[in-house]
Amino acid sequence: MDKVMITGGQLRAGRAYAKISAVKLAELADVGRSTIVKAESTDGIPPITANNLSLIQRTLESLGVIFGVNGEVNYKPPLEKEG
Q: Tell me, yes or no, if the pTM score tops 0.85.
A: yes
Separation CA 59–CA 26 (nearest Å): 9
The pLDDT tens digits for 31-46 are: 999 999 999 999 999 9
SS3 of the chain: the string is CCCCCCCHHHHHHHHHHHCCCHHHHHHHHCCCHHHHHHHHCCCCCCCCCHHHHHHHHHHHHHCCEEECCCCCEEECCCCCCCC
Rounded to the nearest integer, the mean pLDDT of the chain is 91
Position 8, amino acid? G
pLDDT at position 4 is 66
